Structure 1
């Protein structure tokens, strides 16, 4: 199935039903008076987070959604039927944005969470409502109010505790396979991973955390090279980043150079995201001699001026992975305890999270603007190339065309 994490849709709530003008006309009831009923309210449209969904592909081709109109009022004081509400189900982690104002309407981060995005129109009043001592036969009614209409942008971000960063073929997919039950595709060529993959890592019997693997970054990703940096937004809600570095790259690149590329692209995407807690994980230690480990680690650490935690592992041989996952679990527990006990720390994290969201949205909007310029035949002011464009991109308004393959 196709993996889609951004779509644009239009939603229209139902109009309210009109009020009815009617009078009693039974036999032997002289001057029966008004009996026109009110109309029904229009149906509203809600978004609801569904844990069984993992893509927005349902909104890829069907983009206009209308709720039911309220029925008109009837005679004998009959009130019109209310329009049925429309509930649109989206994956957990979906952000709803007003396309016109770029205002964030809501963020659905829990299964079952529900949010009204447009409200149905109010009902019109029947002529019975206008009866008075001085106006016993009113001929006045009111029409129903029109329902709200909005153009919305839906952005899905995967919800994970830990995110993996690295160049293509750094061993991210192999790592997630070795520590969880997830089975992403693994091969010896770049960009094997085309969509984010999630894995649940169990530590002991009752403890676990979720880890996210995204497509690899390359130099120039912030300018659209490779798969670009759009998938970095999926790491904006993680609590910890693991920077995987291949200790023994097969091409001419050096491990320190590869590490610097990731730091540079991450900072270009969001300086605030680059401030998120990040651990350095040096992978494929089984590919070099053991006596060379210390020298290779020192070379990378010195180049990055790294002061944080450093782990040396072999994902394919599961060497060092158990210690790493236990330390991650301990870190997440300590972080949760501190959040509960320290309101200042909680406020600082909330401010950082908001800054990351704002920077990520601004960066993605800039990429969308560049894509729109390319479609119109105009290059961007930065003279960015068309590395992230293909012939099918003309019909692709919501990101790269990606196929999500299930085994």
Structure 2
């Protein structure tokens, strides 16, 4: 997934179609000079519809489409003929897309399954023709309803990646290397912070042809929940992950403090993230000796599942996959 092509936030102007006007028409034939009302109804205006597409991973296709307009409905006609409905506009979006009101932040729609359709802006209703208004006391009504106007609103579309496991860690913790080793994903990897500038997804193969999806979220820094670094831009992707896998390198000056800092940033951003299952992977174990690993293990919370791994030498990766799969298929209590 090229960084220039990953777009997870767009703001677009949407306008649904206006309803067609009802017809005020009277039946007029050679031998029926004064027939009754037979005006047809106006057609419904076109909807703006969101549709989930599992083959899409980005909102790039909507980045430069700032205005989306649906067709208006056709007017009614004589002979009780209804006007044509306005053509709907269907916007295909990745799974995990949320539509919000830009002023209030209110969530309007959420797309989570392939093929799911949700009306973002409904088209205006067509007006009733004069045939609907006849009565014993009013046999020749000339009144017909106009169609309802369409709606025009600015809408924010925001993508939150749907993944089973989200990698959480400071820059240069080894998250991208881990993802590249356990899946076919090929994120950019280099020995400097903020190599990863966009989330990357990878499908991890497990035993007996099972698999799960892992997301590498760009590195968090202290203060990310207040907008520092890249944090606020990508923290929302963590909200959809079933399990959070914290990745901390073994050569960190203080592994426990680093874990608590990451945990605090997630708590400050969204306290509900504390309810998710959490696992810890101590990466880069090939860079330290056994005494350091024993010391690190003694400093960590007892209830926190910990796996020591090296993506380079591929140590501990099978154990890590087993632990992840166990948490994905069970619902153990979240650690504190």
Same fold (TM over 0.5): yes
Rate the CA distance shift 1:270–1:306 in 2: closer, same or farther, 3 A: farther
Structure 2 counterpart SS, 1:7: strand
1:176-215 aligned at under 5 Å gives the runs 176-215=179-218
Please say if residues 100 and 151 of structure 1, whose CA atoms lie closer than 8 Å, have aligned partners that are also in contact: no
Please name the residue that 2:314 is paired with.
318
CA contact (8 A) 1:20 1:73 kept: yes
- Cα deviation, 1:193-217, whole Å, max 9, x if unaligned, reads 1111111111112321111111111
1:309 aligns with 2:322: no
1:162 aligns with 165
Match of 1:55 among 58, 69, 74: 58
Q: Is the contact between residue 163 and residue 212 of structure 1 (CA under 8 Å) also seen in structure 2?
A: yes
State how many pairs are aligned.
331
Q: Map Cα deviations across residues 174-203 of structure 1 (whole Å, 9 max, x no partner).
A: 111111111111111111111111111111
Q: Counterpart in 2 of 1:297?
A: 297
Q: CA deviation at 1:12?
A: 2.2
CA contact 1:17–1:144 (8 Å) conserved in 2? yes
2 CA distance for matches of 1:63 and 1:200? Answer: 33
Q: TM-score, normalised by structure 2?
A: 0.90
Unmatched 5+ stretches in structure 2 = none
If each structure's helix is expressed as a fraction of its own residues, which one has the higher value?
1
1:307, CA displacement in angstroms? 3.2
RMSD: 2.2
For the 8 Å contact 1:37–1:73, the answer to whether it is kept is yes
Equivalent residues of 2:307, 2:319 under 8 A apart: no
Q: Which residue of 2 aligns with 1:114?
A: 117
TM-score calculated relative to the size of structure 1: 0.75
1:333 aligns with 2:329: yes
Aligned partner (choices 82, 92, 96) of residue 95 of structure 2? 92
1:41 matched to 2:41: no
| 1:19 and 2:15 matched | no
The aligned counterpart of 2:267 is 267
Match of 2:226 in 1: 223
Q: What's the CA shift for 1:22?
A: 2.5
Farther off after superposition, 174-183 or 53-62: 53-62
Shift of 1:265: 2.1
**1:69 Cα deviation (Å)?**
0.6
Work out whether 1:134 is the aligned partner of 2:137. yes
Matches within 5 A, 1:236-255: 236-249=239-252, 253-255=253-255
Structure 1: 5+ residue runs without aligned partners?
A: 339-344, 350-407
**1:287 and 1:117, CA in 2 relative to 1: closer, same or farther beyond 3 A?**
same
